[in-house]
Amino acid sequence: MKFLMEPANRLRNICIFALILFAFVFSSLVRLTWVYQMNVPGNDRMLWNNEFMVTTNDSYYWAEGARDLVFCDKDNANNSEYYQQNCHQEFDLSPTEESLPKLTHFLYDILPFSLETIIFYLPVFGASLVVIPIILMGSRLNLLLPGFIAALLTSIGISYYSRTVVGYYDTDMFNILFPMLLVWSLSLAIKTKEKKYLLLSGLEIVIYRWLYPASYSLEFAFFGLVAIYTVYMLVIESLQNKKLSISEILFLKQNVSNYQLLSIMLIGMMGTPFIIRFVSVIALFLVAFKKEFEKFALYILAGSILAFFITGGINPVIDQLNSYIFQREGTIANEELQFFSVTQTIVEAQTVNIGDIAERTSGNIFLFIIAIIGYAWLCFRQPLMLLMLPLIGLGFMSLKGGLRFAMYATPVIAFGIGFFIFRITELLHVYVKNKKIALASSVIFTLVAVAFVLNPLIKNAWDYRIGTVFTQEEVKLIEDFGKNASREDYVLTWWDYGYPIRYYADVKTLVDGAKHGGDVNFPVSFALSHDQKSAANIARLDVEYTENRHLTEKTNQNKSESDKIALPSNNVAWIMKDYGFKNSNDFIVSLKKDMDLPKKTRDIYFYLPFRMLDIYPTIMRFSYLDLMSGKSLRQPFFLISRGSRDAGNTFILDQGFSIDKQKSLLVAPDRQTYPLKRFVQAGYQSDGFRVNIQNLQYEGVYSLIHLQTYGVFLIVDEAMYNSVYIQLFYLEQYDPELFELVAANPYGKFFKLKI
């Protein structure tokens, strides 16, 4: 290779490699500070199978797919008797066809580590790979120092770090890596016109889509910029070369290269399976990009555009915009029923302000302003850096779409800061006449400036104390339960716990981190927050109709459009149709009585964890709703008090409430008083779980519940007192004809539905 024969090139490549290695190690070590801080005596509650557990719920989704691929592999069949048979059942929603589980399976086969270890540490090294394209791009644009600084800043940027911290096993680790690879290859394809960068751009799009299916919008934005640049160059060349004909201008070498770049991008973005796009990109490169075919470049581009639209390549872009920007209303219409929208209850989907973006991308508003100035300055000097505009645009979409988008702006902000520092060092060399002093000044300034800009990011990483999703006690309960349950059984619980339940117990769930629209949340919310009879009925209905839906959809796959069975879009509408209800309120009332339920095909279990207490008011919002109008109903009264104290004749609660102990009255913040119906003490004692109920006033409105195990007091009205979550988990006052307690500890309880 040429660079091996030239000492200057060899030295430069060694330097680039050294900077990449340093930045990669730096990023990895910063992420591993979490392990250093948590790996202390007393923190073994975060361990399972001698490894830390994951730090986000969504990790369990990918982990379930990886587990099934590993233990369904005949080569690994002896690793666990538990998974030797039926390790992946039909309709279990396990992502065995997704890229991250397949990548993890591959790593498991070639590395001497456990599955838990690979899952936990993969984000550390996967996210740190982002330094490679950033430094490579800086090098090719003669901006090696800004590229190196940008790599350091990007790798531990607050928003990016929080979604790629150790244990955050998710495709987010690729969310900046592949966009930056695309910026690198696209910029070099435009600058050098070398065909290898055309191929790299096409393959990067294909692989990016495989690793992160939601990449459509960003890919399309990059395509749009390249298309604008192509048109711009045609206009400029037509103005500068007035003697040339239109056909001559159209087929100038630099324009042909742009057509080829657009063509290969479109083929990579087609709405076809991975293997078809991968092969098509290579075929296009090998056949259509030969010199003798350059005269057909515009026809090839036209064919690529046609293939893109025919295969539905534009559809995901529209879906993404609808999902994150246009559908922000509080309810969603479904089969003429109105369900509560989940988007307003998810933190990452909430809108933010410019200050939040500044902090999440650069550390503070001062550095953010410096970064914007630096990036504008950089674009003026290197117009190719305008290719990063889609990233900063997506980052600013946080103002509308939610905090999760902020990390996309991180590399742009990082490059802006890096170039600003670099430009100051250049000015020092210009204005300081003594070369030695100028060199020393620039080195000192660079070191101090880099330390200054890295400081808030390193401090954030050091202070980041996110815990594992579950504790050892919770996992033991779930895994022990799973050993006695069938893989075809369902566990009814809130969607926050869907993925972990499926991973540790290998059962089915009704809702999870991806399947949690208002229509599927309604039955689960209803079952958790209403009386036991209603909960039992709707649980059996929802599970059996869910299975029937899967079977019907499978059958429809082999039928023509005219022969397909039309299904209502949600289970509630389907159930109402089959049971003859026109009004959802009548259907709700009927759930309190004996019903002619569908034939039981599997067991159903309720999983009720203590950790659900704080989000319980949010859970109730999904079912305390008039489905006919979409209007929220008055929710039951539910007050959690952790800061209670005894003050003689008065017992002080949180939020301004108190108890008049002599008169058995609840005193509200406005000094209104309400009679207490009962006082309940419940919790684990040395001889087991005990409940003591003291009736106070027959006309009482509220009940005071002391959860002794947790040091918590609850004030609830009668509807809340009779809810499944309160009656089953906290009081264990369950109807033996409907429920059976099958597994329990202070952190969670499993109840088997008996109907």
pLDDT digits (tens, 9 = 90+) for 356-414: 888 888 888 999 999 999 999 999 999 999 999 999 998 888 777 677 788 999 999 99
Q: Is 402 left (phi over 0), alpha (psi -120 to 50) or beta?
A: left
Strand 702-707 to strand 748-753: parallel, antiparallel, or no bridges (unpaired)? unpaired
Range in 259-263, 354-358, 521-525, 750-754 with the lowest mean pLDDT: 354-358
Query: Could you tell me the two tokens for 175?
Result: 């969310």
Q: What is the pLDDT of residues 150-169, one digit of tens each?
A: 999 999 999 999 999 999 99
The reported pLDDT for the residue numbered 399 is 78
Q: What is the pLDDT of residues 171-180, one digit of tens each?
A: 999 999 999 9
Strand 688-695 to strand 739-745: parallel, antiparallel, or no bridges (unpaired)? unpaired
The reported pLDDT for the residue numbered 354 is 86
Please tell me the distance from the alpha carbon of residue 78 to that of residue 84, in angstroms, as a whole number: 7
Residues 6 or more apart whose CB falls under 8 angstroms from that of 86 comprise 487
Tally of helices (H runs) and strands (E runs) in the chain: 31, 18
- CB atoms < 10 A from the CB of 172, how many? 20
Strand 604-609 to strand 490-492: parallel, antiparallel, or no bridges (unpaired)? parallel
Domain 637-722 in CATH 2.60.40? The answer is no
Q: What is the pLDDT of residues 687-708, one digit of tens each?
A: 899 999 999 999 999 999 999 9
472-610 topology per CATH: Pyruvate Kinase; Chain: A, domain 1 (3.40.1380)
Range in 112-121, 339-348, 634-643 with the lowest mean pLDDT: 339-348
Average pLDDT, the chain: 90
Query: Could you tell me the two tokens for 438?
Result: 């100028």
Q: Does the pLDDT at position 601 exceed 90? A: yes
Residues 6 or more apart whose CB falls under 8 angstroms from that of 641 comprise 653, 654, 655, 657, 712, 713, 714, 715
Q: Which amino acid is at 192?
A: T
- What's the distance, CA 269 to chain centroid? 22
Q: Does the pLDDT at position 524 exceed 70? A: yes
Residues 6 or more apart whose CB falls under 8 angstroms from that of 418 comprise 138, 143, 145, 146, 147, 148, 149, 150, 153, 374
Query: Cβ(169)–Cβ(119) under 8 Å?
Result: yes
3-state secondary structure 377-421: HHHHHCHHHHHHHHHHHHHHCHHHHCHHHHHHHHHHHHHHHHHHH
Please tell me the distance from the alpha carbon of residue 86 to that of residue 72, in angstroms, as a whole number: 8
Residue intervals of the chain classified under CATH 3.40.1380.40 are: 472-610
CA atoms within 13 A on the CB side of 630: 15
DSSP 571-602: HHHHHHHHHT-SSHHHHHHHTTS---PPPP-S
Residues 6 or more apart whose CB falls under 8 angstroms from that of 342 comprise 516, 517, 518, 521, 622
Range in 319-333, 356-370, 529-543 with the lowest mean pLDDT: 319-333
pLDDT band at 15 (very low <50, low <70, confident <90, very high): very high
Residues 6 or more apart whose CB falls under 8 angstroms from that of 527 comprise 492, 534, 535, 536, 538, 539, 542, 606, 724
Q: Which position has the higher pLDDT, 558 or 26? A: 26
Query: Could you tell me the two tokens for 650?
Result: 């008065």
Residues 6 or more apart whose CB falls under 8 angstroms from that of 75 comprise 109
Please tell me the distance from the alpha carbon of residue 647 to that of residue 662, in angstroms, as a whole number: 12
Residue intervals of the chain classified under CATH 2.40.128 are: 637-722
Degrees to nearest 5, angle at CA 606 with 603 and 612: 160
pLDDT band at 214 (very low <50, low <70, confident <90, very high): confident
Q: Does the pLDDT at position 606 exceed 80? A: yes
Q: Is 686 left (phi over 0), alpha (psi -120 to 50) or beta?
A: alpha
Query: Cβ(357)–Cβ(406) under 8 Å?
Result: yes
Counting beta carbons within 10 angstroms of the beta carbon of residue 659, is it exposed (0 to 12), middle (13 to 18) or buried (19 or more)?
A: buried
Q: Which letter does DSSP use for residue 632 in this model?
A: B
Q: Does the pLDDT at position 351 exceed 70? A: no
Q: Does the pLDDT at position 479 exceed 50? A: yes
**Of 666, 669, 690, nearest in space to 678 by CA:** 666
Distances (CA, A) of 121 to 34, 51, 104, 170, 212: 11, 10, 11, 11, 19
Q: Does the pLDDT at position 651 exceed 80? A: yes
Q: What is the pLDDT of residues 16-75, one digit of tens each?
A: 999 999 999 999 999 999 999 998 887 889 999 999 999 999 999 999 999 999 888 766
